[in-house]
Amino acid sequence: MPQENTFYFGKENFKWMLIGLAFIVVGFLLMMGADANTVDGKFDPNSWNDDIFSIRRIRIAPLFVVIGFVIEVYAILKRK
């Protein structure tokens, strides 16, 4: 009697899920950095850190996260 595969997701689905998860993690890592009042690792309420508005933090990192979630949806909906 052949054994039935009881998993809903196949190998290909899990591969795409890991790729999507990697995109999400990279996106959140790209968002990391000093906050608005931290320059050179020290809190200073009289200084302003312009890096919080860098292209990496407000454009590239969120794009990676959104792409990661789109890949996750694709991985879930993809048939074996």
Give residue 21's domain range. 11-77
> Considering the domain boundaries, does residue 40 fall inside one?
yes
> Considering the domain boundaries, does residue 61 fall inside one?
yes
pLDDT band, residue 2 (cuts 50/70/90)? low
> Considering the domain boundaries, does residue 58 fall inside one?
yes
Number of neighbours of residue 68 by Cβ within 10 angstroms: 19
Q: State the total domains in the chain.
A: 1
Percentage above 90 pLDDT, the chain? 59
The pLDDT assigned to 1 comes to: 62
* pLDDT tens per residue across span 33-72: 878 788 777 888 888 888 889 999 999 999 999 999 999 9
- Name the CA dihedral angle for 59, 60, 64, 66, rounded to a multiple of 10 degrees: 10
> Considering the domain boundaries, does residue 42 fall inside one?
yes
